[in-house]
Structure 1
Protein backbone atom coordinates (compact mmCIF):
# COMPACT_ATOMS: atom_id res chain seq x y z
CA UNK A 1 0.00 0.00 0.00
CA UNK A 2 1.33 3.45 -0.93
CA UNK A 3 0.24 7.02 -0.36
CA UNK A 4 2.40 8.20 -3.26
CA UNK A 5 3.34 6.06 -6.26
CA UNK A 6 5.39 7.72 -8.99
CA UNK A 7 6.22 5.68 -12.08
CA UNK A 8 8.26 6.89 -15.05
CA UNK A 9 7.73 10.58 -14.30
CA UNK A 10 9.23 12.71 -17.04
CA UNK A 11 9.04 16.51 -17.09
CA UNK A 12 9.82 18.42 -20.27
CA UNK A 13 9.68 22.02 -21.38
CA UNK A 14 7.70 23.05 -24.43
CA UNK A 15 10.96 23.45 -26.36
CA UNK A 16 11.80 19.79 -25.71
CA UNK A 17 14.30 19.95 -22.83
CA UNK A 18 14.02 17.08 -20.34
CA UNK A 19 14.24 18.28 -16.73
CA UNK A 20 13.18 15.07 -14.93
CA UNK A 21 13.76 11.79 -16.71
CA UNK A 22 11.90 8.54 -16.00
CA UNK A 23 11.78 8.97 -12.22
CA UNK A 24 10.05 6.40 -10.01
CA UNK A 25 9.51 6.43 -6.26
CA UNK A 26 6.97 5.21 -3.73
CA UNK A 27 6.07 6.27 -0.20
CA UNK A 28 3.97 4.16 2.16
CA UNK A 29 1.67 5.67 4.82
CA UNK A 30 3.79 6.94 7.69
CA UNK A 31 7.05 6.53 5.76
CA UNK A 32 9.59 9.31 5.22
CA UNK A 33 11.55 9.64 1.99
CA UNK A 34 14.31 12.17 1.44
CA UNK A 35 14.94 13.60 -2.03
CA UNK A 36 18.57 14.72 -2.24
CA UNK A 37 20.50 16.57 -4.91
CA UNK A 38 22.11 19.81 -5.94
CA UNK A 39 20.18 22.82 -7.18
CA UNK A 40 18.85 22.00 -10.64
CA UNK A 41 18.70 18.25 -10.07
CA UNK A 42 14.91 18.17 -10.47
CA UNK A 43 13.90 17.75 -6.82
CA UNK A 44 11.53 20.70 -6.56
CA UNK A 45 10.01 20.06 -9.98
CA UNK A 46 9.22 16.54 -8.82
CA UNK A 47 7.35 17.84 -5.78
CA UNK A 48 5.40 20.32 -7.91
CA UNK A 49 4.43 17.52 -10.31
CA UNK A 50 3.11 15.48 -7.38
CA UNK A 51 0.60 18.26 -6.68
CA UNK A 52 -0.08 19.17 -10.29
CA UNK A 53 1.59 22.55 -9.83
CA UNK A 54 4.15 22.59 -12.64
CA UNK A 55 4.77 26.07 -14.08
CA UNK A 56 3.48 27.05 -17.50
CA UNK A 57 5.73 25.76 -20.24
CA UNK A 58 6.33 22.39 -18.59
CA UNK A 59 4.46 19.13 -19.04
CA UNK A 60 4.58 15.85 -17.13
CA UNK A 61 4.17 12.35 -18.49
CA UNK A 62 4.22 9.01 -16.72
CA UNK A 63 2.15 8.23 -13.66
CA UNK A 64 1.75 10.02 -10.32
CA UNK A 65 -0.83 8.42 -8.05
CA UNK A 66 -1.53 10.31 -4.84
CA UNK A 67 -3.84 8.51 -2.43
CA UNK A 68 -5.27 6.63 -5.40
CA UNK A 69 -5.82 9.73 -7.57
CA UNK A 70 -3.95 10.05 -10.87
CA UNK A 71 -2.37 13.51 -10.90
CA UNK A 72 -0.81 13.54 -14.36
CA UNK A 73 -3.35 14.96 -16.80
CA UNK A 74 -5.96 15.57 -14.09
CA UNK A 75 -8.40 18.48 -14.32
CA UNK A 76 -7.68 21.46 -12.06
CA UNK A 77 -10.97 20.94 -10.20
CA UNK A 78 -9.88 17.44 -9.19
CA UNK A 79 -6.41 18.67 -8.20
CA UNK A 80 -7.91 21.39 -5.99
CA UNK A 81 -9.72 18.70 -4.05
CA UNK A 82 -6.53 16.69 -3.59
CA UNK A 83 -4.32 19.55 -2.39
CA UNK A 84 -4.51 20.05 1.35
CA UNK A 85 -6.62 16.94 1.84
CA UNK A 86 -4.26 14.24 0.57
CA UNK A 87 -1.00 16.19 0.42
CA UNK A 88 0.25 19.62 1.39
CA UNK A 89 3.54 21.40 0.82
CA UNK A 90 5.84 23.67 2.83
CA UNK A 91 8.12 25.73 0.58
CA UNK A 92 11.63 27.03 1.25
CA UNK A 93 10.57 30.67 1.47
CA UNK A 94 7.27 31.17 3.32
CA UNK A 95 6.78 34.64 1.86
CA UNK A 96 6.08 32.94 -1.49
CA UNK A 97 3.33 30.84 0.13
CA UNK A 98 1.76 33.55 2.31
CA UNK A 99 -0.34 36.41 0.98
CA UNK A 100 1.39 39.64 2.09
CA UNK A 101 -1.92 41.53 2.09
CA UNK A 102 -3.82 39.08 4.28
CA UNK A 103 -3.55 38.61 8.03
CA UNK A 104 -2.12 35.29 9.21
CA UNK A 105 -5.31 34.19 10.94
CA UNK A 106 -7.43 34.74 7.86
CA UNK A 107 -4.99 32.73 5.73
CA UNK A 108 -5.24 29.83 8.16
CA UNK A 109 -9.01 30.17 8.42
CA UNK A 110 -9.56 29.71 4.68
CA UNK A 111 -8.47 26.04 4.42
CA UNK A 112 -10.02 25.22 7.80
CA UNK A 113 -13.34 26.69 6.75
CA UNK A 114 -13.27 25.19 3.27
CA UNK A 115 -12.04 21.70 4.13
CA UNK A 116 -13.48 21.17 7.59
CA UNK A 117 -16.58 23.33 7.35
CA UNK A 118 -15.74 25.33 10.49
CA UNK A 119 -17.42 28.66 11.16
CA UNK A 120 -17.53 31.44 13.77
CA UNK A 121 -16.09 30.77 17.21
CA UNK A 122 -15.24 27.18 16.29
CA UNK A 123 -13.14 28.39 13.34
CA UNK A 124 -11.39 31.03 15.46
CA UNK A 125 -10.56 28.38 18.06
CA UNK A 126 -9.19 26.04 15.38
CA UNK A 127 -6.92 28.80 14.03
CA UNK A 128 -5.52 29.43 17.52
CA UNK A 129 -4.97 25.70 18.05
CA UNK A 130 -3.19 25.37 14.71
CA UNK A 131 -0.78 28.16 15.69
CA UNK A 132 -0.24 26.67 19.13
CA UNK A 133 0.56 23.26 17.63
CA UNK A 134 3.52 24.73 15.76
CA UNK A 135 4.77 26.24 19.04
CA UNK A 136 4.06 29.87 18.19
CA UNK A 137 3.85 32.17 21.21
CA UNK A 138 0.91 34.56 21.53
CA UNK A 139 -1.21 32.90 18.83
CA UNK A 140 -3.83 35.64 19.00
CA UNK A 141 -1.22 38.29 18.19
CA UNK A 142 0.27 36.20 15.40
CA UNK A 143 -3.21 35.63 13.94
CA UNK A 144 -3.77 39.40 13.74
CA UNK A 145 -0.37 40.07 12.15
CA UNK A 146 0.54 40.39 8.48
CA UNK A 147 3.37 38.12 7.29
CA UNK A 148 5.92 40.96 7.14
CA UNK A 149 5.24 41.75 10.82
CA UNK A 150 6.61 38.41 12.09
CA UNK A 151 10.06 36.83 11.83
CA UNK A 152 11.20 34.38 9.15
CA UNK A 153 11.10 31.50 11.60
CA UNK A 154 7.58 32.43 12.68
CA UNK A 155 6.45 32.70 9.04
CA UNK A 156 7.78 29.21 8.35
CA UNK A 157 5.86 27.88 11.37
CA UNK A 158 2.71 29.54 10.01
CA UNK A 159 3.33 27.87 6.64
CA UNK A 160 3.70 24.53 8.43
CA UNK A 161 0.49 25.15 10.38
CA UNK A 162 -1.34 25.85 7.10
CA UNK A 163 0.03 22.66 5.55
CA UNK A 164 -1.02 20.54 8.53
CA UNK A 165 -4.37 22.26 9.16
CA UNK A 166 -6.44 19.80 7.14
CA UNK A 167 -4.46 16.76 8.29
CA UNK A 168 -3.11 15.60 4.91
CA UNK A 169 -1.83 12.07 4.45
CA UNK A 170 1.46 13.31 2.94
CA UNK A 171 3.57 16.33 3.91
CA UNK A 172 5.93 17.61 1.23
CA UNK A 173 8.72 19.74 2.68
CA UNK A 174 10.81 21.49 0.01
CA UNK A 175 13.99 22.81 1.66
CA UNK A 176 11.85 24.14 4.55
CA UNK A 177 14.78 25.26 6.72
CA UNK A 178 17.35 26.51 4.20
CA UNK A 179 16.37 30.17 4.55
CA UNK A 180 16.60 30.06 8.37
CA UNK A 181 19.60 30.60 10.61
CA UNK A 182 21.21 27.52 12.18
CA UNK A 183 19.49 27.62 15.58
CA UNK A 184 16.04 28.29 14.11
CA UNK A 185 16.68 25.60 11.50
CA UNK A 186 17.31 23.01 14.21
CA UNK A 187 14.14 23.99 16.09
CA UNK A 188 12.11 23.76 12.88
CA UNK A 189 13.45 20.29 12.05
CA UNK A 190 12.62 19.08 15.57
CA UNK A 191 9.11 20.53 15.22
CA UNK A 192 8.48 18.87 11.85
CA UNK A 193 9.78 15.57 13.20
CA UNK A 194 7.53 15.75 16.27
CA UNK A 195 4.36 16.80 14.45
CA UNK A 196 4.55 14.25 11.65
CA UNK A 197 5.38 11.52 14.16
CA UNK A 198 2.35 12.44 16.28
CA UNK A 199 0.13 12.27 13.19
CA UNK A 200 1.86 9.23 11.63
CA UNK A 201 2.11 11.19 8.38
CA UNK A 202 4.10 10.26 5.30
CA UNK A 203 6.80 12.76 4.36
CA UNK A 204 8.62 13.67 1.16
CA UNK A 205 11.51 15.82 2.38
CA UNK A 206 13.57 17.70 -0.21
CA UNK A 207 17.06 18.95 0.59
CA UNK A 208 20.59 19.30 -0.74
CA UNK A 209 21.86 18.59 2.80
CA UNK A 210 22.47 14.91 3.57
CA UNK A 211 22.77 15.59 7.31
CA UNK A 212 19.30 17.13 7.40
CA UNK A 213 17.79 14.30 5.36
CA UNK A 214 19.41 11.68 7.62
CA UNK A 215 17.90 13.43 10.63
CA UNK A 216 14.34 13.45 9.28
CA UNK A 217 13.87 10.52 6.89
CA UNK A 218 14.07 6.72 6.72
CA UNK A 219 15.01 6.32 3.06
CA UNK A 220 16.67 8.58 0.54
CA UNK A 221 16.64 8.96 -3.22
CA UNK A 222 19.57 10.84 -4.74
CA UNK A 223 18.93 12.84 -7.93
CA UNK A 224 21.37 14.24 -10.48
CA UNK A 225 20.41 16.00 -13.69
CA UNK A 226 16.81 14.89 -13.38
CA UNK A 227 17.53 11.21 -12.84
CA UNK A 228 17.70 8.93 -9.80
CA UNK A 229 21.27 7.74 -9.21
CA UNK A 230 20.87 5.94 -5.88
CA UNK A 231 18.11 4.93 -3.47
CA UNK A 232 18.05 3.12 -0.14
CA UNK A 233 18.22 3.39 3.63
CA UNK A 234 19.45 6.91 4.35
CA UNK A 235 21.97 5.84 7.00
CA UNK A 236 23.38 3.18 4.72
CA UNK A 237 23.75 5.74 1.95
CA UNK A 238 25.60 8.10 4.28
CA UNK A 239 27.88 5.31 5.56
CA UNK A 240 28.53 3.54 2.26
CA UNK A 241 27.37 5.45 -0.84
CA UNK A 242 27.55 3.50 -4.11
CA UNK A 243 27.20 6.14 -6.83
CA UNK A 244 30.13 8.48 -7.46
CA UNK A 245 27.82 11.49 -7.28
CA UNK A 246 26.50 10.38 -3.88
CA UNK A 247 30.05 9.84 -2.64
CA UNK A 248 30.85 13.43 -3.63
CA UNK A 249 27.79 14.70 -1.73
CA UNK A 250 28.77 12.72 1.38
CA UNK A 251 32.37 13.95 1.21
CA UNK A 252 31.23 17.54 0.76
CA UNK A 253 28.95 17.24 3.79
CA UNK A 254 31.82 15.82 5.86
CA UNK A 255 34.20 18.62 4.83
CA UNK A 256 31.56 21.22 5.74
CA UNK A 257 30.92 19.56 9.11
CA UNK A 258 34.66 19.46 9.85
CA UNK A 259 35.02 23.14 8.91
CA UNK A 260 32.14 24.11 11.18
CA UNK A 261 33.57 22.03 14.05
CA UNK A 262 36.96 23.74 13.59
CA UNK A 263 35.36 27.18 13.53
CA UNK A 264 33.39 26.41 16.70
CA UNK A 265 36.56 25.33 18.48
CA UNK A 266 38.30 28.65 17.85
Structure 2
Protein backbone atom coordinates (compact mmCIF):
# COMPACT_ATOMS: atom_id res chain seq x y z
CA UNK A 1 0.00 0.00 0.00
CA UNK A 2 1.27 3.46 -0.87
CA UNK A 3 0.17 6.85 0.39
CA UNK A 4 1.95 8.73 -2.38
CA UNK A 5 2.85 7.39 -5.80
CA UNK A 6 4.48 9.78 -8.27
CA UNK A 7 5.20 8.57 -11.80
CA UNK A 8 6.99 10.59 -14.48
CA UNK A 9 6.09 13.95 -12.93
CA UNK A 10 7.09 16.81 -15.19
CA UNK A 11 6.53 20.46 -14.30
CA UNK A 12 6.76 23.14 -16.98
CA UNK A 13 6.34 26.88 -17.13
CA UNK A 14 3.82 28.41 -19.51
CA UNK A 15 6.76 29.09 -21.83
CA UNK A 16 7.67 25.40 -21.93
CA UNK A 17 10.72 25.44 -19.65
CA UNK A 18 11.04 22.15 -17.79
CA UNK A 19 11.56 22.61 -14.04
CA UNK A 20 10.99 19.01 -12.90
CA UNK A 21 11.78 16.30 -15.42
CA UNK A 22 10.24 12.82 -15.23
CA UNK A 23 10.40 12.37 -11.45
CA UNK A 24 9.12 9.16 -9.85
CA UNK A 25 8.91 8.24 -6.16
CA UNK A 26 6.61 6.48 -3.74
CA UNK A 27 5.87 6.54 -0.02
CA UNK A 28 4.16 3.94 2.13
CA UNK A 29 2.64 4.54 5.59
CA UNK A 30 5.35 5.34 8.13
CA UNK A 31 8.07 5.88 5.54
CA UNK A 32 10.17 9.04 5.55
CA UNK A 33 11.74 10.32 2.38
CA UNK A 34 14.13 13.26 2.27
CA UNK A 35 14.01 15.24 -0.97
CA UNK A 36 17.26 17.15 -1.19
CA UNK A 37 18.95 19.48 -3.64
CA UNK A 38 20.22 22.99 -4.09
CA UNK A 39 17.98 25.97 -4.72
CA UNK A 40 16.28 25.58 -8.09
CA UNK A 41 16.54 21.78 -8.12
CA UNK A 42 12.76 21.36 -8.19
CA UNK A 43 12.27 19.92 -4.72
CA UNK A 44 9.81 22.54 -3.44
CA UNK A 45 7.85 22.49 -6.71
CA UNK A 46 7.51 18.73 -6.31
CA UNK A 47 6.08 19.15 -2.82
CA UNK A 48 3.59 21.74 -4.07
CA UNK A 49 2.54 19.49 -6.96
CA UNK A 50 1.55 16.76 -4.49
CA UNK A 51 -1.24 19.01 -3.22
CA UNK A 52 -2.04 20.70 -6.51
CA UNK A 53 -0.58 23.99 -5.28
CA UNK A 54 1.73 24.90 -8.14
CA UNK A 55 2.04 28.65 -8.76
CA UNK A 56 0.09 30.22 -11.58
CA UNK A 57 1.91 29.81 -14.89
CA UNK A 58 3.17 26.31 -14.10
CA UNK A 59 1.60 23.01 -15.09
CA UNK A 60 2.20 19.39 -14.12
CA UNK A 61 1.95 16.26 -16.26
CA UNK A 62 2.46 12.62 -15.41
CA UNK A 63 0.82 11.03 -12.39
CA UNK A 64 0.61 12.08 -8.74
CA UNK A 65 -1.63 9.68 -6.84
CA UNK A 66 -2.29 10.70 -3.24
CA UNK A 67 -4.17 8.19 -1.09
CA UNK A 68 -5.98 6.94 -4.19
CA UNK A 69 -6.74 10.37 -5.66
CA UNK A 70 -5.16 11.50 -8.91
CA UNK A 71 -3.95 15.04 -8.21
CA UNK A 72 -2.79 15.97 -11.70
CA UNK A 73 -5.76 17.47 -13.51
CA UNK A 74 -8.05 17.28 -10.46
CA UNK A 75 -10.59 20.04 -9.81
CA UNK A 76 -10.16 22.45 -6.91
CA UNK A 77 -13.23 20.90 -5.31
CA UNK A 78 -11.62 17.46 -5.40
CA UNK A 79 -8.28 18.79 -4.18
CA UNK A 80 -9.96 20.54 -1.24
CA UNK A 81 -11.10 17.13 0.01
CA UNK A 82 -7.61 15.64 0.10
CA UNK A 83 -5.78 18.68 1.49
CA UNK A 84 -5.53 18.38 5.25
CA UNK A 85 -7.26 14.99 5.34
CA UNK A 86 -4.81 12.97 3.24
CA UNK A 87 -1.81 15.29 3.18
CA UNK A 88 -0.79 18.58 4.76
CA UNK A 89 2.21 20.82 4.35
CA UNK A 90 4.42 22.90 6.64
CA UNK A 91 6.36 25.65 4.90
CA UNK A 92 9.77 27.19 5.57
CA UNK A 93 8.29 30.49 6.74
CA UNK A 94 5.14 30.01 8.83
CA UNK A 95 3.90 33.47 7.87
CA UNK A 96 3.34 31.95 4.43
CA UNK A 97 0.78 29.59 5.92
CA UNK A 98 -0.60 31.75 8.73
CA UNK A 99 -3.01 34.63 8.18
CA UNK A 100 -1.41 37.66 9.88
CA UNK A 101 -4.86 39.08 10.69
CA UNK A 102 -6.25 35.93 12.31
CA UNK A 103 -5.62 34.61 15.82
CA UNK A 104 -3.76 31.29 16.00
CA UNK A 105 -6.64 29.40 17.59
CA UNK A 106 -9.05 30.39 14.87
CA UNK A 107 -6.61 29.26 12.18
CA UNK A 108 -6.20 25.83 13.76
CA UNK A 109 -9.98 25.63 14.16
CA UNK A 110 -10.67 26.02 10.43
CA UNK A 111 -9.68 22.47 9.36
CA UNK A 112 -11.31 21.05 12.49
CA UNK A 113 -14.61 22.73 11.61
CA UNK A 114 -14.51 20.94 8.27
CA UNK A 115 -14.45 17.70 10.27
CA UNK A 116 -17.70 18.73 11.96
CA UNK A 117 -16.37 19.98 15.29
CA UNK A 118 -18.00 22.98 16.96
CA UNK A 119 -18.53 24.70 20.29
CA UNK A 120 -16.76 23.32 23.35
CA UNK A 121 -15.52 20.27 21.46
CA UNK A 122 -13.84 22.52 18.89
CA UNK A 123 -12.20 24.70 21.55
CA UNK A 124 -10.84 21.65 23.36
CA UNK A 125 -9.47 20.23 20.11
CA UNK A 126 -7.67 23.51 19.33
CA UNK A 127 -6.03 23.60 22.75
CA UNK A 128 -5.12 19.92 22.47
CA UNK A 129 -3.47 20.61 19.10
CA UNK A 130 -1.37 23.37 20.65
CA UNK A 131 -0.42 21.19 23.60
CA UNK A 132 0.56 18.38 21.23
CA UNK A 133 3.25 20.57 19.68
CA UNK A 134 4.49 21.44 23.18
CA UNK A 135 3.51 25.10 23.19
CA UNK A 136 3.35 26.50 26.74
CA UNK A 137 0.27 28.50 27.71
CA UNK A 138 -1.87 27.16 24.85
CA UNK A 139 -4.80 29.43 25.74
CA UNK A 140 -2.61 32.51 25.39
CA UNK A 141 -1.15 31.27 22.10
CA UNK A 142 -4.64 30.54 20.79
CA UNK A 143 -5.55 34.20 21.36
CA UNK A 144 -2.34 35.55 19.81
CA UNK A 145 -1.79 36.89 16.32
CA UNK A 146 1.25 35.57 14.36
CA UNK A 147 3.24 38.78 14.88
CA UNK A 148 2.88 38.35 18.65
CA UNK A 149 4.77 35.03 18.58
CA UNK A 150 8.40 34.08 18.05
CA UNK A 151 9.48 32.30 14.87
CA UNK A 152 9.64 28.97 16.69
CA UNK A 153 6.16 29.43 18.15
CA UNK A 154 4.74 30.33 14.74
CA UNK A 155 6.26 27.20 13.21
CA UNK A 156 4.76 25.06 15.96
CA UNK A 157 1.36 26.65 15.34
CA UNK A 158 1.76 25.89 11.62
CA UNK A 159 2.64 22.30 12.52
CA UNK A 160 -0.39 22.04 14.81
CA UNK A 161 -2.59 23.31 11.99
CA UNK A 162 -1.11 20.82 9.52
CA UNK A 163 -1.63 17.91 11.90
CA UNK A 164 -5.11 18.95 13.06
CA UNK A 165 -6.92 16.59 10.68
CA UNK A 166 -4.42 13.76 11.21
CA UNK A 167 -3.19 13.50 7.61
CA UNK A 168 -1.68 10.32 6.22
CA UNK A 169 1.22 12.28 4.73
CA UNK A 170 3.07 15.27 6.14
CA UNK A 171 5.06 17.39 3.70
CA UNK A 172 7.70 19.49 5.42
CA UNK A 173 9.23 22.04 3.05
CA UNK A 174 12.39 23.46 4.67
CA UNK A 175 10.51 23.82 7.98
CA UNK A 176 13.54 24.72 10.10
CA UNK A 177 15.63 26.88 7.76
CA UNK A 178 14.42 30.19 9.19
CA UNK A 179 15.08 29.12 12.81
CA UNK A 180 18.21 29.33 14.93
CA UNK A 181 20.12 26.12 15.64
CA UNK A 182 18.65 25.45 19.09
CA UNK A 183 15.03 26.01 18.02
CA UNK A 184 15.70 23.99 14.87
CA UNK A 185 16.87 20.99 16.91
CA UNK A 186 13.84 21.23 19.21
CA UNK A 187 11.44 21.34 16.26
CA UNK A 188 13.10 18.35 14.56
CA UNK A 189 12.83 16.34 17.79
CA UNK A 190 9.17 17.27 18.07
CA UNK A 191 8.48 16.41 14.45
CA UNK A 192 10.19 13.05 14.87
CA UNK A 193 8.11 12.21 17.95
CA UNK A 194 4.79 13.25 16.38
CA UNK A 195 5.45 11.31 13.19
CA UNK A 196 6.36 8.15 15.08
CA UNK A 197 3.30 8.52 17.30
CA UNK A 198 0.93 8.76 14.33
CA UNK A 199 2.84 6.51 11.90
CA UNK A 200 2.56 9.13 9.18
CA UNK A 201 4.50 9.14 5.95
CA UNK A 202 6.81 12.14 5.59
CA UNK A 203 8.19 13.95 2.57
CA UNK A 204 10.92 16.18 4.04
CA UNK A 205 12.28 18.81 1.66
CA UNK A 206 15.61 20.47 2.40
CA UNK A 207 18.89 21.69 0.94
CA UNK A 208 20.70 20.56 4.12
CA UNK A 209 21.70 16.90 4.15
CA UNK A 210 22.56 17.02 7.85
CA UNK A 211 19.00 18.08 8.67
CA UNK A 212 17.54 15.42 6.38
CA UNK A 213 19.68 12.77 8.08
CA UNK A 214 17.94 13.57 11.38
CA UNK A 215 14.49 12.91 9.96
CA UNK A 216 14.49 10.72 6.85
CA UNK A 217 15.04 7.00 6.32
CA UNK A 218 15.66 7.35 2.60
CA UNK A 219 16.98 10.19 0.48
CA UNK A 220 16.26 11.21 -3.11
CA UNK A 221 18.72 13.72 -4.56
CA UNK A 222 17.49 16.22 -7.17
CA UNK A 223 19.66 18.21 -9.55
CA UNK A 224 18.20 20.54 -12.16
CA UNK A 225 14.81 18.89 -11.84
CA UNK A 226 16.06 15.31 -12.24
CA UNK A 227 16.59 12.54 -9.72
CA UNK A 228 20.31 11.69 -9.69
CA UNK A 229 20.52 9.31 -6.73
CA UNK A 230 18.25 7.56 -4.24
CA UNK A 231 18.94 5.26 -1.34
CA UNK A 232 19.07 4.63 2.38
CA UNK A 233 20.15 7.78 4.21
CA UNK A 234 23.21 6.14 5.74
CA UNK A 235 24.33 4.74 2.38
CA UNK A 236 23.89 8.12 0.71
CA UNK A 237 25.91 9.85 3.44
CA UNK A 238 28.70 7.29 3.76
CA UNK A 239 29.04 6.11 0.15
CA UNK A 240 27.43 8.53 -2.32
CA UNK A 241 27.77 7.38 -5.92
CA UNK A 242 27.19 10.59 -7.85
CA UNK A 243 29.62 13.56 -7.86
CA UNK A 244 26.75 15.95 -7.12
CA UNK A 245 25.73 13.94 -4.05
CA UNK A 246 29.34 13.76 -2.90
CA UNK A 247 29.49 17.56 -3.10
CA UNK A 248 26.35 17.84 -0.95
CA UNK A 249 27.83 15.47 1.61
CA UNK A 250 31.10 17.40 1.67
CA UNK A 251 29.30 20.68 2.27
CA UNK A 252 27.08 19.31 5.05
CA UNK A 253 28.00 19.56 8.70
CA UNK A 254 27.17 17.38 11.73
CA UNK A 255 26.32 14.38 9.55
CA UNK A 256 28.01 11.92 11.86
CA UNK A 257 26.15 13.19 14.92
CA UNK A 258 22.87 13.21 12.99
CA UNK A 259 23.27 9.56 12.00
CA UNK A 260 24.40 8.54 15.49
CA UNK A 261 21.34 10.22 16.94
CA UNK A 262 19.04 8.28 14.60
CA UNK A 263 20.78 5.00 15.40
CA UNK A 264 20.08 5.51 19.09
CA UNK A 265 16.46 6.49 18.57
Name the structure 2 match of 1:174: 173
Q: 2:101 corresponds to which residue?
A: 101
> Deviations 1:78-113 (Å, cap 9, x if unpaired)?
000000000000000000100000000110111111
Give distance in 2, aligned partners of 1:139 and 1:29: 30
Residues 49-64 of structure 1 mapped to structure 2, 5 A cutoff: 49-64=49-64
Corresponding residue of 2:216 = 217
How far the C-alpha of 1:253 sits from its partner, in A, is 1.1
1:235 aligns with 2:234: yes
**Is structure 2 residue 253 aligned with structure 1 residue 248?**
no
**Distance of 2:125 and 2:90 partners within structure 1:** 20
For residues 76 and 153 of structure 2, the distance between their equivalents in structure 1, rounded to whole angstroms, comes to 31
In the alignment, the residues of structure 2 paired with residue 185 and residue 96 of structure 1 have an alpha-carbon distance, to the nearest angstrom, of 18
Q: CA RMSD in A?
A: 1.1
1:115-167: CA deviation from partner (whole Å, max 9, x where unpaired):
x2111011000000000000000000000000000100000000000000000
What SS does the aligned partner of 2:252 have? helix
Query: What is the TM-score with the length of structure 2 in the denominator?
Result: 0.95
Q: Which residue of 2 aligns with 1:151?
A: 150
Tell me the CA shift for residue 43 of structure 1.
0.3
Unaligned runs of 5+ in 2: 257-265
| Residue 257 of structure 1, CA deviation | 7.4
Cα distance in 2 between the residues matched to 1:2 and 1:214: 22
Unaligned regions of 5+ residues in structure 1, if any?
259-266
Structure 1 match to 2:207: 208
Is the Cα–Cα contact under 8 Å of residues 213 and 255 in structure 2 kept in the other structure? no
Aligned position for 2:259? none
Q: After the TM superposition, which segments of 4 or more aligned residues of structure 1 sit over 6 Å from their partners?
A: none
Deviation per CA, 1:40-84: give whole Å up to 9, x if none: 100000000000000110000000000010000001100000000
